[in-house]
A and B are shown apart, each in its own frame.
Chain A
Amino acid sequence: MEKREETCTELFQFGEESEFQSLMSVVPPPETGNSFTALLELPPNQAVMLLHSPEETAPDNFTSPEFLETPNSILPNSSPNNFSLVKQEPVDSDSVHNSSPNMSDPVISKSTKRKERGKNVKSAAKKSKSVANETDGDKLPYVHVRARRGQATDSHSIAERARREKINARMKLLQELVPGCSKITGTAMVLDEIINHVQSLQRQVESGSLMDGNGNFTGMVSPPLSNQIWQPDGLTPQPLWGVEEMNPNFITPENSLLSYDSSRSSVSLHTNQLKMEL
């Protein structure tokens, strides 16, 4: 679980989204891909490994070395920009499929299209896709998606299918991130879990800020730590009782804010108020 989370966050680490987009718009498109959808099913672990070993990829496509360079160059600067998850998936899976090196481009150009345009232009994009399917794919930055066997060849349904698969790929990543979600099947339940997780995290932040701010509260409400499956690093999830005023050597300016004036008599009243609020 930890490792998977790690790989997830490693995924997040790379890439300025804007840089990717600018790169991707330059990319010439490739031929069709049956493996288009297979790309998206690539698990993040593999994707990260591929990202780490860019030398293995054949630079057939002249942009692929650029691709592979930018992740490495971005790496040291990635500190505040840890999360640019989505672009990673297509890029990483690109480097896998050297046999069809041009595969990278439809995914990327497609995701670029999706990001930069929006639902308004979607119909135009679909039309361009159906047109481009017939033309030679080398010059135009259009997506070439071939319908799989036994499925509708309508351009609309192809686009919908591609969109659905992208969403499913992201949902899989979410599933790995949120604890306890990997066993659940079905989007609705997973979303439920995610919502619960976000809510509990927000509640924890609330109570955490309360803990930080309070003083000699022995009757303090304990934060809802019991419902978390994810353990914070090296911390024991015990409620903190009786936090007195801070050590002046610790962080001096925070003294006035974080120390509680214990002479206040309305302590019990406040606890009730806080309980209501939480």
Chain B
Amino acid sequence: VESNLQTFPPSGAQGKISGASRPPRDADDSFSKPVNGIEEPQQPGGWLRAFSVASYKPYFDVDTVDVLERIKDSLFPFNGSFNEKTTNNPDLYGPFWICTTLIFVAASIGTFVTYVAHKVEKKEWNYDINVVTWSAGLFYGYVTLVPLALYVILKYFSAPSGLVQLFCLYGYSLFIFIPTLCLSIVPLEIFRWIVAGVAGFMSASFVALNLRAHIMSAGERWFLIVAGIFLLQLALSVVLKMYLFTVTF
């Protein structure tokens, strides 16, 4: 007898009630099913994919040793091998958590330094909660906006670089500021300026050297772009020093 039940044509995902010609499946069938991409849960298509977790998974495909190695590379900018390692497997784990750690370290050390300074002067001190929010804005903003701008600029000069690779590069370039901030506890003003300067220089040259080979293909303006990147990173370092460690009463 003809069934009145609506039968759905198999559409990739196996329907519950498939055509009558199919023999009943037993449990073993699911194991012998050929892999045809159904194992992913239902993924939104098109622009909605930006909101699903699974679409970002490829950018977190790193192990602990990978992350540690990339961090070590960022500390020695003149090796220039960072780009080769990350071109095919850029990760967003490093940039995000380095930024977050940096925010925490900046807030805590900035607070500690102003606390000590106020106590030494025997003045009243209150915790400034805005330090956290301002540092968050500064670091997240820098790592998000500058690579984005650079991506657009490079595209304009027809030397396109992947956006995620740029995020990765800038994120890891900020790692050197963590030990810098720890060293800045020392209350010598000149020492702080030296430390900030050295860190800024190393970070800026890390970014510039890793991009140089790529940008050279952009034509005769490459030096401007590279110099611009370099100075921007130095400026970040100066802003950091001034904002966090200037003690105002």
Mutual binders A and B: no
